[in-house]
Amino acid sequence: MAKIALASHLLPYTGGVRELDLDVGNVRQMFAALAELYPDLRGHLENEVAVVIDGEVYQDALLQTIAADDEVILIPKIAGG
């Protein structure tokens, strides 16, 4: 199972849960699993977070693969202009 860590801005939507393990194959599946576990988190995932998989940042990564031994961190999406 992949280790998922959530940035502090998401904790109000998870009841304070910061880390969990999920058996998912890609980012879209991870978002679906997180939304099922924490319905209040649903509206914040696709548009407000960037995904860091084993140290590499992905801004739009719905189909990015997540392996069982990956470490994934959800951070605020990086805004630019």
> CATH number of the domain that 37 lies in?
3.10.20.30
- Domain around 36: 2-76
The SS3 assignment for 72 reads strand
Q: What is the mean pLDDT of residues 29-43?
A: 96
Whether residue 24 is predicted with pLDDT greater than 80 in this model: the reply is yes
Q: Is 71 within a domain?
A: yes
Residue 39 forms part of a structural domain: yes
Q: What percent of the chain has pLDDT over 90?
A: 85
Q: With respect to residue 29, please indicate whether it lies within any of the assigned structural domains.
A: yes
Residue 34 lies in a domain: yes
Q: Which residue has the higher pLDDT, 20 or 79?
A: 20
Q: How many domains does the chain have?
A: 1
Residue 31 lies in a domain: yes
pLDDT at 81: 57
**Which secondary-structure segment (H or E) carries 6?**
strand 2-6
